[in-house]
Copies of this chain bind each other. A is one copy, B any other.
Amino acid sequence: MSAATLETASLTHEQKLDRLAEVAIQVGLGLKRGQELVMTATLDTLPLVRRITEHAYRNGATLVTTLLTDEESTLLRYQYGDNESFDYAAAWLYNGMAAAYKSGAARLAIAGGNPGLLSQQAPEKVGRANSAVSKAYRPALELITRHDINWTIVAAATPAWAATVFPNLPADQALAKLWDAIFAASRCDLADPVKAWREHDAGLHRRADLMNQKRYSALHFQAVGTDLRVGLADDHLWLGGGMHAQNGQYCIPNMPTEEVFTTPHKERTEGHVTSTKPLSYQGTMIEGIRVRFEGGRVVEAKATNGEEVLNRMISTDDGARKLGEVALVPHSSPIASSGLLFNNTLFDENAASHIALGQAYSSCLKNGDKLTPEQLAKLGANDSLIHVDWMIGSGQMNVDGITAEGKIDPLMRQGEWV
Contact = CB atoms under 8 A, between A and B. Distances in A.
Interface of A: 33-34, 36, 43, 46, 49-50, 53-54, 57-58, 60-68, 70, 72-73, 76-77, 79-82, 84-85, 88-93, 95-97, 99-100, 103, 105
Contacts of A91: 99, 103
A68 B73 CA distance: 12
A33 B82 contact: yes
A93 B65 contact: yes
A337 to B, nearest CB: 35
Contact of A76 (B50, B80, B96): B50
Given A73-B66, A89-B63, A80 B96 contact: no
A122 to B, nearest CB: 15
Given A49-B70, A53-B76, A100 B90 contact: yes
Contacts of A92: 96-97, 99-100, 103, 105
Contacts of A64: 73, 76-77
Contacts of A34: 82, 84-85
Contact of A63 (B43, B58, B79, B85): B85
Closest 9 CB pairs of A and B: A96-B96, A57-B80, A92-B100, A92-B99, A62-B88, A62-B85, A68-B68, A57-B81, A92-B96
A73 B100 contact: no
Contacts of A67: 67
A324 to B, nearest CB: 28
Among A76, A80, A88, A92: residue with most chain B CB under 10 A: A92
A72 B58 CA distance: 15
13 contacts: A43-B46, A49-B70, A54-B80, A57-B79, A57-B81, A62-B88, A63-B77, A66-B73, A67-B67, A91-B103, A92-B97, A93-B96, A96-B97
